[in-house]
Structure 1
Amino acid sequence: MTDINHIERLKTSDMELGATEAVQRHATRHVVERRPISQRKLDFEHSRPRWLREMAAEATGVFFYVYPGIASTAAFFLNDTEPIFGSLFQIGWAYAIGIAFAIITCGPTSGGHFNPAITLCFAYWQGFPWKKVPYYIFAQIFGAFMAGMILMGQYHEQISAFTAASKAAGRGTVYNGGPASILCTFPGANQNNLGYLFLIEFFVDSFIGIVIWACLDPANPFVSPVSAPFTIGLAYANMVWGFANISISTNLARDLGTRIVAAIFFGGEAFSYKNYSWIAILVNVPATFFATAYYELVMRDSLKKIGTGRAVHAEGEEGLTRHLSRVGVIEEGMAGVLRNGGGKGDGNV
């Protein structure tokens, strides 16, 4: 018979030995097994054109990114910028989380570009097939267009009332803070210097581009595949918080797709207002090329990338050995140099 004065506890601080054992030995709940994957399903998935799946993923990803962002903007503007309905801080988070969700849900299918400038940079720097570039860009713009169209339908009554009030006040519909600015960016009333607006967009997009390229660098020890979607999203939010009040776009597809919607509902002034639209649409491309070139030419450590196993020397092991020999690395030190990216502080060079 168990000595009641010698009660032991196991793994918990609130159940006696007998109760603990009973819980541990309790039959595990059996969940219904998932249906086996049929050959019919495999055949169907194999029959889908790869290009169509990639286009669908890019369009869906841009939709996931743009839709919550412009919805948050609509809630803010349509309620007279009352803090209870949002702020620039909320809008920044809407874009950030939308980008993270876009990468998580659609990145495995298409690679998760969601930006024509990124697609072009992948083609130039990373060997992405140039033949895929046009339909990736089309899908990205289409995704933003659909986000704008659906939002206009969902907020139709509120936007119509806002439009009527704006016209009655003599302000029109296309201006910063007006009905059309729910969908895309317009400069403020006092922003008439296009060079100034160009520089704002260029440096904002360059900032985002460097963060994206750093997150995609397999030799970067600070960003894991799990954290990359949120890090990239935060880069966008960071720029929204800092510069949305003085007009930024950040993405050709995001701006052009929704600007077309704005032109459908509010007229061609969506493209002609202060001659600004070309900055919002086009500057993203050279800015992102500048950012990725800066990273590739100044910050990239290809030897460390080879050391992670994510890249190889173009001439194979012999080419790598010749390089290490030429820079003064003895054969026994090759592994250490690869691990450390060729740093001279490791004593091998």
Structure 2
Amino acid sequence: MNTLIFILFATLSFQFCHSQWPDQTNTGYIHAPGYPGSLTTCTTPIPSNSMVKYCNFPDGYYVGSGSNYPRNITFIGCRFASNALDDANVAVFGYNITFNYCTFEPIFNITNPSYTQGYQYGIDQRKFAGGLFINYCNIWGFGNGLQLGFSNKTNPIIVTNSWIHNPRADGGIDHTDGILENYGGVSYMTFDHNTIVGVGNTQALGLQGADDPYDHITVTNNLFSGYGYVVSFGHKMSTNIIFTGNVWSSQFEPIHGPMYDSTLFETAGLNNLWKNNTLKVYPGTTWMNFGNNGKYWWATDGMVSNPNQIIGHNIDYINP
């Protein structure tokens, strides 16, 4: 990450009060620092080494192409809208691409869009991309909020302080994920202090690659709820996976349970850590007992078998 982007990213993150989850009050272009009250149409294509502020992209945007890989572009306070049923709202081919306080949404202003009213990917990281930074963004109406695939120590992926919610209906076609990486072999991804919630059939955080292990993945201080499983880490021998300070909330009932395969947190020698993850049960929840509220969430926990069950724990998970 170049120095300018790092300073901007760190400064914006410092402004956020970590006691408040990302939601409609603090994410998206409306809450961008200096937002003038309206958006403008900006000239495209956007060249490397650009900072783009308060622009409206009513038909989404491709950052580069299969033969053009721009570098060092920062979007601040922009809106990207799409009705590409089987394509991306924003496709990223470049390096060091940053989205701060941006909104990714359908062209239809419908809270719970049908399959035909949404789009496939909020951001789709494509060929030769690397270095992707997403901060304070509002992403909704998707089949998959983020589709990722290219990250390493030199060009990491960092997603922070963002609200990923209200996916489109799957239409019997989508497998719906908040964040998706389905190749494996990816390293140095960070997901910190995001709200990833919704009705979906796959995972809120789906690191699904089973052929090659992940390495150095950090998942901290996120609020998760709903989907098929809440989280998945794919390959059973992934290493240096940090999962701490996260909350599994009762806002949406998952279809299957909280964790798709906890093997990597039960296997010694992988240097993985599960610590200080908790349950949040809202008053009035009918599918999970309120007695679970505030208790520890363990990597090995399964789905609630009945509404009276206490699955939370009074002590933290003991790593192998």
TM-score interval, smaller chain: under 0.3
Structure with the greater relative contact order (CA < 8 A, sep ≥ 6): 1 or 2? 1
More strand by share: 2
The structure with the larger Rg is 1
Question: Scaled by the length of structure 1, what TM-score is found?
Answer: 0.21
